Amino acid sequence: MNLDNQKIYYSISEVGDLLDVSTSLIRFWEKEFDIIKPKKNSRGNRIFTKNDIKNIALIFHLLKEKKYTIKGAKKKIRENKEGVNRNFEIINNLKSIRDQLSQIRDELKK
Domain assignment present for residue 90? The answer is no
Residue 102: inside a domain, yes or no? Answer: no
Q: What is the pLDDT of residue 2?
A: 64
Q: How far is CA 34 from CA 1, 8, 60, 74, in A?
A: 22, 21, 14, 9
d(CA 58, CA 60): 5
Task: Tell me if 46 is assigned to some domain.
Answer: yes
Per the domain annotation, does 106 fall within a domain?
Answer: no
Span 94-105, pLDDT tens digits: 888 999 999 999
CATH of the domain at 42: 1.10.1660.10
Pick from 5, 6, 4: nearest CA to 14: 4
Using only C-alpha atoms, what is the Rg of the chain?
A: 16
Q: Average model confidence (pLDDT) for the chain?
A: 89
Convert the pLDDT of each residue in 44-70 to its tens digit. 999 999 989 989 998 999 999 899 999
In a domain, 109, yes or no: no
Q: Read off the pLDDT of residues 9-26 as tens digits, 9 standing for 90 and up.
A: 999 999 999 999 999 999
Domain membership flag for residue 49: yes
Q: What is the pTM of this model?
A: 0.76
Looking at the 3D structure of the chain, how many domains does it have? 1
Question: 33 lies in a domain?
Answer: yes
HSE (CB half, 13 Å, CA atoms) of 55? 19
44 is a domain residue: yes
- Domain holding 69, by residue range, is 10-79
